[in-house]
Structure formats: structure tokens, C-alpha cells
Structure 1
Amino acid sequence: MLQLQLRRLDLLCTVVHEGGVTRAAERLHVSQPWVSAQLRTLEKAAGAPLFVRDGRRLVLTEAGRRFHAWAADVLAGSAQVRRDIENLGAGLAGSLTVATSMAIGTYLVPPLLTELLHERAGAEITVHISEPAAALRSVATGDADFAVATWSDELDSEALHAERLWENPLVLAAAPDGPPDGDTITLAELAALPLVGVPAGVTFDRTLNDQLRSHGAGELTYVMRLGHAEAMKRAVAANGWNCLAPSYVVADDVDAGRLRSIRISDAHLAEGIGLFYRRTKFFSPLQDAAVAALRSLATPQGPGTPAVAGS
């Protein structure tokens, strides 16, 4: 009975997403009359019409919007509960799925989770890397246990617990023999350099521009925009260009002599690191240990950077 009710809620969300009964039926591989019948059952249970027709599309009524929001939350919660129950008997093993933003998932999170795996042999750990907004969506839908992502006040995290853990200073990465001379640079000097940037509009780009404006500086211009820190660092090293990056992103390259780290002397630019999870989330022992490890990195944080492998 419960599975049938959940299936009806999933069907309603599919109709909303697809914009109509026909496309929803095609996606779910069921008949159109069956979809219509299930919607009538839901409307009877709700005691109000959930949809009205707008041309060829079905759109939600006011009651329908409220019902749809509740249905999406129930489905996300049920997915999370199923995963939680599977992990209850797993003890030190179990599973952990983390959603992260790009640089955090490449450089920060893997060393921490690798150390956790050494302590808990048999644990199943997965890290999904995407844009911060997508990482938060995967948590909201129950597909990930929590997210670790670049902090932005623009992120829609109302349905989630949002916790700013720490911030990492941004540095200018330079080629060993490229500009600028010296170990420090001002914002005015920075604007004159050949810079590689992230794609326009991504969270890191928006937060960087906000910080530049707060220091009275305009947006930077770039010779090229690249979608991953590894590609940016290679372009810097090969062409004598520069890029702004969190200190942990370039730490290994600086130690190996592939890049230089240049401090910005007249501005504090930083990337905030945030932890996000469902407010009703039940943490298994493995998941709880991962969150505790993340918070422990923030504990010694002052004006510097938390001590993590590779930073």
C-alpha cells in the first residue's frame, strides 16, 4: 500500500516536470488513462483540484503547488530513509555518498575520505562532483547524504541545514618563470595580468566578483575560461598565464615547483566551504564520522587554512 502511494506521488511529480499526462505516461512507460486515474485519486485524497489546463499543458493550482512541494519532500525523505535503514546494520562499514562542488571534490574531500576508509575497511564511499547548486539538489532529493560545496549566499538551501565550516584564502597561481615578479601583488596589478578564469556565472565566479566589488575593483578580464582547476593550472604553467584559486588547489603544484603562489597584499579574497544536509537526516556511524572529520578541519581555523592533506 505504501509503495502504491509513493508511486502516485512520484507520478504527480513526473506530470509536473513533463508538463502533461501524455509525456509523463511515455516517460513512465504506462498508459495515459492510468496516469489520469491516479491523478483523480490524488485529487480526491487532497479534496481539491491539483491541476488546471493551460492550452496543451497542465499547470498546478495553488493547492496543487502546495501538494507538489509536500510530495517532493516525502519522496526525498523516503529515498533517504531507505538508504539509512540499509546502513543501520552495517556498523563501521555501510555507505556514504557525498556531493561536492568541483575543486572541493577534487582536492579537499578525497584525502579526508581516504583516511576514513583506512579506518573503516569495507565502507562504500562515493563522491559526486558538480556545481554547488546541483550538489545541493542531490542532497534535497535524498541521492546524497550531505554536500560539501563552495559557500554562496545565493544558494537555495532553505530545505537544508546549511553550515559554513571555514574559508580558504585565494592566491594567484603563476608559472615558475612567468609574471608577476615577487611574492605579492595588488588588485590593480592583478587586473593587468593574463588571467585564466572559470566559466562565467558559476558560483566561484559570482562570489569572486562580489568580493572584488566590495574592494572597489571591477570584474576581471580573461584570456580564457576553463571548467576545471586542473585545466586552468596546466594553462598557467604552459603559457606563463595566471589564475586565482583557493590555496589548497595549488598547494601540491607549488611544493613540486610547477607553480608559484602569489599573495594579494591589499585584499582578502577567499572561498567559503559549506556543509549542507537535510534537516531530518539520520546519520549512520560512517556518515557521522565523515561529518565530524569535516568539522574537525574547521576547528583550528583562524586567519589561516585548515590542515588537510595536500594543502
Structure 2
Amino acid sequence: MNLHALRLFHAVASSGSVTRAAEQLSISQPAITAQIKKFEKELALPLLQPDGRGIRLTDAGRQVKELADRLFAVERQIETLAEQYGRGDQGRLSLAATYLPANFLLPAWLAKFKQKHERVEMSVTTTNSSGALRLLQRMEADLALYGGLPEEHPDTIQAEELFQDELWFVVAPTHRHAGGSIGLDDMMREPFIMREEGSSTRERLFSLCRTYNVPSPRIALQFNGLHEAISAVIAGYGASFVSSLVVRDEVRRGELSRVHVEGVNLRNSIAICTRRGENLSPAASNLVDLIRESRDGMGSG
């Protein structure tokens, strides 16, 4: 079926006049008339018939127009969809992230993103750093974010460090070391409240003790989540070693206090990973731009 001729017929049927259709389409009246006659012959159906100085639709013409209305409405929907995908306003995004960015960065970033791009469907898988990179490599994630020591990654992965955050020793404001500066060996005499074995920050703490040849900390309380561990410290027991991202608001409000440990200045790297040489989808590109803007507004610490 000649879709160009169908479009011409639809324009005539919608406007009720060959003259008006010719003006709208910038095509001569004789050309439109000739195309519609060929179209009628192709369908073996009369679609238009004279009505005084104008034309009117036959019964078949009315039904063809109704179907054409639906066809060209779908065409406009497809064009709109393509425009939205092209702008990144529609589509699907799958993210893989480690605990730190998944719990303390992504919620605010994704809420801000969804306010601008409501129709983009999003999912987040929280895993360890090697798991996040594995999902990215397997094409099961569009982006991966991790927080911790800079990860070794294959050449197929491109990592962009967004910023670094400090790792802090924190205690309750009433603790005798609150706001003070002490040695690492004295700090390790305190009971610690930490996440479960395998957490990256806990491993960093034990590694720090091995590096400086001081006794490992005594883990007096262990929780599966950081919020629970921090709440216990706020309640007045023990110390914790944690990313500044997690506790900076509590420190600012005076609910927690830092303990400065002499000679210790450990940092986490917060990075975003993509597949090297692969163009991001418009939606993914928009999210990366928003994350970079948010990073710039946070500063480096």
C-alpha cells in the first residue's frame, strides 16, 4: 500500500478540501488528485466523491480515514518516543553499586534524577566492588559505582574517580577522647563497634593495625548495617571507624565527635565505572552528568 498516497488522502479527508490539503502540504492540487485516484485504484475502493464544489467521503473513505487516524497517531507516538529516548527522558537504567554509594550517595542522586526524568525506569543492585564490575562487564549493569580502595579493573572497564572521602574514628561527645588527638595504639584499646566481617572499612582498620604493628581492635559489637553501629556509638558505647560520608551530619550536629589519630589519614575513593569505548545511552549520560554536578557541589571531603 502506498503510504504517501494514504497520507495525502488523510490530509484531504481531515481538512475537507483538496485546496486546503494542498496549502498545508505545499503540493499542487492536481498532484494530490492524481495520487488519490491511483490510491483508490490500488485499493479498488472509491474513497472520495464530488459534493457540489467540494468533496465528501464515501462509506469506505470514512472507514479508511478512521484507520489512518489511528495509524498516524501511532506514528506520532513513535516519533515522540524516539525524541524522549534521544533526550534521555525515557528508557531503562541498571546500576551496580557497593554499600557506601548505594546507601549514602545514590538515594539523593537518583531522587534528583527522577525529578527530571520521571519515565526512566531504574534498578540498583548493591554488591561488593568485584561484583559490581562483574555485572558491568556482563552487560547486566549500565554503570557501576564503588567506594573504597581504588579497584584494579580490566582494560575493558574505564573508572572515573568522582572524589575521595576521609575515614574517621568517631566516639560519643562524652567520650574522654572526643575531639582529642591520640596515637593509634591508644585508639586500639577502645572497644569498637563495626559492621560484619568482610566489610571494606573493617578490613581497612585491621590492615592499618598490621601496617603500624599495633594490636588489632577488639570488636565489642557487630552489626550488619552501618546505621545500627553508629546508633550504638551515639548512645555512648565504644568507637567506630567509618567513612566521613556516613557520619559527617552527626558530627556537625554534635551527636558524634571525631578522634584524630596521629599519622593516620586514610581515604576512600568514590568512582564511577563504564565499559571502555562504549557510548552511554542518553539516559545514562544524563545520570553521569548529574552525578558529576552533584560531586562538584559536595567538594572533595
TM-score, normalized by length of structure 2?
Answer: 0.62
Per-residue displacement from partner, 1:255-282 (whole Å, max 9, x unpaired)?
A: 4443233333432011111222222433
Which residue is 1:101 aligned to? 98
Instruction: Verify the 8 A CA contact 1:99 1:139 in the aligned structure 2.
Output: yes
Which residue is 2:238 aligned to? 241
Match of 1:199, as an amino acid? E
**Equivalent-residue separation in structure 2 for 1:298 and 1:213 (angstroms):** 33
Match of 2:177, as an amino acid? P
User: Given the superposition, is the C-alpha separation of residues 234 and 292 from structure 1 closer, same or farther in structure 2, using an over 3 Å criterion?
Assistant: same
Which residue is 1:282 aligned to? 279
User: Given the superposition, is the C-alpha separation of residues 264 and 117 from structure 1 closer, same or farther in structure 2, using an over 3 Å criterion?
Assistant: farther
Shift of 1:300: 7.4
**Equivalent-residue separation in structure 1 for 2:214 and 2:154 (angstroms):** 29
Match of 1:162, as an amino acid? A
User: Given the superposition, is the C-alpha separation of residues 158 and 250 from structure 1 closer, same or farther in structure 2, using an over 3 Å criterion?
Assistant: same
Instruction: Verify the 8 A CA contact 1:208 1:269 in the aligned structure 2.
Output: no
Instruction: Verify the 8 A CA contact 2:114 2:120 in the aligned structure 1.
Output: yes
User: Given the superposition, is the C-alpha separation of residues 292 and 197 from structure 1 closer, same or farther in structure 2, using an over 3 Å criterion?
Assistant: same
1:135 aligns with 2:148: no
Which residue is 1:146 aligned to? 143
Shift of 1:254: 2.8
Match of 2:106, as an amino acid? V
Which residue is 2:289 aligned to? 292
Q: 1:164 aligns with which of 157, 161, 164?
A: 161
Shift of 1:161: 1.5
Q: 1:250 aligns with which of 223, 247, 250?
A: 247
Match of 2:265, as an amino acid? H
**Equivalent-residue separation in structure 1 for 2:89 and 2:172 (angstroms):** 44
Instruction: Verify the 8 A CA contact 2:178 2:257 in the aligned structure 1.
Output: no
Shift of 1:141: 1.7
Shift of 1:100: 1.1
Which residue is 1:193 aligned to? 190
User: Given the superposition, is the C-alpha separation of residues 217 and 168 from structure 1 closer, same or farther in structure 2, using an over 3 Å criterion?
Assistant: farther
Which residue is 1:228 aligned to? 225
Q: Which has the higher strand share?
A: 2
Instruction: Verify the 8 A CA contact 1:179 1:240 in the aligned structure 2.
Output: no
1:116 aligns with 2:136: no
Instruction: Verify the 8 A CA contact 1:160 1:279 in the aligned structure 2.
Output: yes
**Equivalent-residue separation in structure 1 for 2:215 and 2:290 (angstroms):** 38
Which residue is 1:46 aligned to? none
User: Given the superposition, is the C-alpha separation of residues 118 and 241 from structure 1 closer, same or farther in structure 2, using an over 3 Å criterion?
Assistant: same
Which piece of structure 1 moves more, 93-102 or 211-220? 211-220
**Equivalent-residue separation in structure 1 for 2:240 and 2:265 (angstroms):** 16
Unaligned segments of structure 2, at least 5 residues: 1-81
Unaligned segments of structure 1, at least 5 residues: 1-84, 306-311
User: Given the superposition, is the C-alpha separation of residues 127 and 179 from structure 1 closer, same or farther in structure 2, using an over 3 Å criterion?
Assistant: farther
**Equivalent-residue separation in structure 2 for 1:251 and 1:192 (angstroms):** 24
Instruction: Verify the 8 A CA contact 1:177 1:240 in the aligned structure 2.
Output: no
Instruction: Verify the 8 A CA contact 1:172 1:245 in the aligned structure 2.
Output: yes
Match of 2:220, as an amino acid? V
Q: What is the aligned-residue identity percentage?
A: 22
Match of 2:111, as an amino acid? T
Match of 1:268, SS? coil
**Equivalent-residue separation in structure 1 for 2:183 and 2:88 (angstroms):** 52
Larger-gyration structure (1/2): 2
**Equivalent-residue separation in structure 2 for 1:153 and 1:168 (angstroms):** 12
Structure 1 runs (4+) deviating above 6 angstroms are none
Match of 1:282, SS? coil
Which residue is 1:267 aligned to? 264
